[in-house]
Structure 1
Amino acid sequence: MDIRHLRAMTPGCGESAFFDNAGSALHTEHVTRTVVDHLMLEARIGGYAAEDREFERIEAVYGSVARLLNARPEEIALTDGATRAWDMAFYSIAFRPGDRILTSRSEYPSNGLAFLQAKQRHGVSVEPIPDDEHGQVDLDALAAMLAEGGVRLIAVNHVPTYDGLVQPAAGIGALARRAGALYLLDACQSAGQLPLDVREIGCHLLSAAGRKYLRGPRGTGFLYVDRELVTQLEPPQLDLHSATWTGPDTFEIRPDARRFETWERSIAGLLGLGAAVDEALALGLDPIRARIDTVAERLRAGLSGLDGVRVRDRGAVRSGIVTFTKEGRDAQHLVDGLRAAEVSTSLSRPSGAKFDDRSQKPAEVVRASAHYYNTDEEIDRLLDVVAKL
């Protein structure tokens, strides 16, 4: 992996030491140009004509996302973000009173709110799965909960927004299939930094964002739906793209995953997403994963060596997300100080995960999320600023 070349392709690398890739990573010049070129085409000939002209390129995005996941193009829906993708999947499930939803203790707040709404609407129960000694989903505890019966859905995040860990997604999938439970994996933080194979993971549904580790535009995302399941799920909303009005009181819903799309969307954004996915595929997800691991572990080691700094990451397997605190300094102070020194990080609030009931859980942490284009010099710069603040 030619890091110098990859940084040269990324104009933002010249602006700051960028460690906010789990928030919204830096685009390559090619991704930006793809979006801008289509907007300029729309400006010249109009949005409808521009979409018609780029029909084949738009269709190719489905194939690219499918290759990213080892899925089929008809199992892919393109959306305006990870939350929309996840919501379209979750709200299409016909819950019944007494159904059980099992989830991770580190679940994202948006997903947790949807679970609670389903509890109020449908009378389901929402049950966090205990963590194991590493802080990730305890597979033995999950097996015991499934053995009790009544589980309609297992919905977990692949990589929490804090903690730095990677959930045992394939192990969860094996248990879900054995128990006959639906399995929804939120891969918004893992798509683009970890290899994702939906066949190996065993999930029925997977949602992801374009803006994070995939380095795509904001306002883009995608949903995978197992083709054996798709016709059993009715989208929470329909329009003339997802269904056909066949008579005064009849309609037919599309038979593929595009039933979860809407007609109006940013074509420029979707083409940019396709460009970003193609770049990740060209580099290879295994080399990307290896490089991110190297950068993140060096960062963890450096932070651990600073006086008063505590790395907060857990997990038997860790991601590119590195979280830490410093004694006597609140996390926002550290984030602001780093930003002033042109080092981009973000603030993460474990306190927002209400299913995580650890007594020693920090309220706020600094999140420094590494990518393959980060360098040793940038790590040293971050460490120097944290040491001096």
Structure 2
Amino acid sequence: MTQEPIERWRSETPGCARRVHLNNAGAALMPDPVLSACTEHLELEADIGGYEAAAARVTEIAAVYDDLARLIGSRATNVAVVANATAGFIQAITSFDLSPGDVIVTTRADYTSYQIQFLSLAQRRGVVVKHAADLPEGGVDPESIRELARDPRCRLVHVSWVPTHSGVIQDAEGVGRVCEELGVPYLVDACQAVGQLPIDVARLRCDYLTATARKFLRGPRGVGFMYASDRALARGDHPLYVDMRGARWVDADQYEIAPTAMRYEDWEFPYALVLGLGAAVRYALAVGVELAGNRAFALARRARASLAGIPDTRVLDGGREQCAIVTASFGQHDAREIVKELSRQNINTTASLRWYGLLDFTEKQVQSAIRISPHYYNTEQEVDEAIAAIGRLVDSAPCS
């Protein structure tokens, strides 16, 4: 790749001038068009009023659904805008009337919030949560999913395509094939995938997919989206706490759900963020998700190779495929302290703690790890600078 597009992406990203931002799995730096979309609508709300501003932008707001549909290979009627990926997950999971003894199959690497919510369902509703085994090299084994999901009480399968604490890319398509064969509803957490992996919901064969704007998609914080398949809509799936955007009150003791994925939305909307989400999707499509991912993956491979040369360092990412999330531990060093010191040098990373990936990190005997997540607008020099700084800190810092 030539320098021209990289320089252009960086010039359109004001934060690049001030920091080395390697926390794109947390919240990526927004490009100018995203920031402008948000601030312009806030200014319009201040000028003419919130309801009136939304009415004035009704065409642009509707276009966001078309943009999201293009991003994931669906139709706009299958897309809902939600507060974040976890909110979308809750809307999807509460669409199932779970009973004691019903089985949920998930993976050892699924996102912490979802693992906790599964445990809450187990404790409060008597649901049985089963974790599929990993492949020897890492990432969920679709055949283990098959064995567990054959249980006649299995109500759904959930997979975090890319975990928050690891660079492994789980075989979401392979799991989708298994779920389709067994006729089991399938939920995909694409929070860390969107923006770095091309998404085609037809290939995933999922009933639901959830994601957020702020990570590799480079959108604003506080908004996300979800996909609901035609079969989910046809089943009459709708969240337990559907509100007046997702349904109409048609009789004293009756409501009627919306025919589209709007049934998963709330009436209250941060329209400035919705427009920012649309701008982020258009920007990602203009860059090219595959191109963006390939460059980010290359920078991540560079980081892994350099980290491996630092004494007492373990690079933790496994799997047949790895993405732009890099995790590493440093013996008895507390990763949080390293992250703090890097921040003082204007280098953004974050720490993953044992309980963020409890099953995986316990097996690996890891208490904390640094998470480095480059994106396509980062440079090789930035990655090298960050790894060199980590090396100096590990060499000089006392163990915790």
Q: Name the TM-score, length of structure 2 as normaliser.
A: 0.94
Name 1:147's counterpart in structure 2: 150
Distance 2:381 2:232 in 1: 48
Distance 1:167 1:177 in 2: 17
**Match for 2:271: what amino acid?**
I
**Match for 1:230: what amino acid?**
L
Q: Does 1:296 align with 2:311?
A: no
**Among 341, 352, 371, which residue is 1:367 paired with?**
371
Name 1:237's counterpart in structure 2: 241
Name 2:250's counterpart in structure 1: 246
In structure 2, stretches of 5+ residues that fail to align are: 394-400
> SS at the partner of 2:119?
helix
Distance 2:209 2:127 in 1: 22
Name 1:206's counterpart in structure 2: 209
Distance 2:303 2:267 in 1: 44
Contact map agreement 1:101 1:126 (CA 8 A) in 2: yes
CA deviation string 1:331-378 (max 9, x = no partner): 112111111111100011233334447433311100001100110110
Contact map agreement 2:65 2:79 (CA 8 A) in 1: yes
Name 2:330's counterpart in structure 1: 326
**Match for 1:135: what amino acid?**
G
Offset, 1:80: 1.1
Q: Which moved more, 1:227-236 or 1:59-68?
A: 227-236
Name 1:110's counterpart in structure 2: 113
Query: RMSD of the alignment, in Å?
Result: 1.4
Q: Does 1:36 align with 2:39?
A: yes
**Match for 2:29: what amino acid?**
L
Distance 1:328 1:253 in 2: 54
Name 2:87's counterpart in structure 1: 84
Distance 2:363 2:50 in 1: 53
**Match for 1:308: what amino acid?**
D
Q: Does 1:267 align with 2:277?
A: no
Offset, 1:383: 1.5
Q: CA 1:334–1:357 in structure 2 vs 1: closer, same or farther (change >3 Å)?
A: closer
**Match for 1:166: what amino acid?**
I
Name 1:191's counterpart in structure 2: 194
CA deviation string 1:236-293 (max 9, x = no partner): 2122211111122222110110101011110000000000001101111111111111
In structure 1, stretches of 5+ residues that fail to align are: none
> SS at the partner of 1:230?
helix
Distance 2:332 2:360 in 1: 24
Offset, 1:147: 3.1
> SS at the partner of 1:206?
strand
Distance 1:332 1:250 in 2: 52
Please show how residues 3-42 of structure 1 align to structure 2 within 5 Å.
3-42=6-45
Contact map agreement 2:149 2:157 (CA 8 A) in 1: no
Name 1:97's counterpart in structure 2: 100
Offset, 1:68: 0.6
Q: Which moved more, 1:87-96 or 1:55-64?
A: 87-96
Distance 2:364 2:293 in 1: 30
Name 2:319's counterpart in structure 1: 315
Q: Which moved more, 1:376-385 or 1:354-363?
A: 354-363
Contact map agreement 1:313 1:322 (CA 8 A) in 2: yes
**Among 160, 164, 169, which residue is 2:163 paired with?**
160
**Among 166, 169, 172, which residue is 2:172 paired with?**
169
CA deviation string 1:156-195 (max 9, x = no partner): 1010111210000000000001111110001111111100
- Which stretches of structure 1, 4 residues or more, deviate above 4 A after TM superposition? none
Distance 1:269 1:148 in 2: 42
Length, aligned pairs only: 389
**Match for 1:99: what amino acid?**
D
Distance 1:156 1:359 in 2: 20
Contact map agreement 1:17 1:344 (CA 8 A) in 2: yes
Distance 1:354 1:379 in 2: 28
Distance 1:163 1:260 in 2: 30
Name 2:63's counterpart in structure 1: 60
Contact map agreement 1:351 1:361 (CA 8 A) in 2: no
Offset, 1:328: 4.3
Contact map agreement 2:130 2:148 (CA 8 A) in 1: no
Name 1:215's counterpart in structure 2: 218
CA deviation string 1:21-49 (max 9, x = no partner): 00011000111111000000000100111
> SS at the partner of 2:26?
helix
Q: CA 1:333–1:357 in structure 2 vs 1: closer, same or farther (change >3 Å)?
A: closer
Contact map agreement 1:351 1:364 (CA 8 A) in 2: no
Distance 1:137 1:239 in 2: 36
Q: Which moved more, 1:98-107 or 1:205-214?
A: 98-107
**Among 109, 123, 126, which residue is 2:129 paired with?**
126
> SS at the partner of 1:27?
coil
Q: Does 1:350 align with 2:393?
A: no
Name 2:398's counterpart in structure 1: none
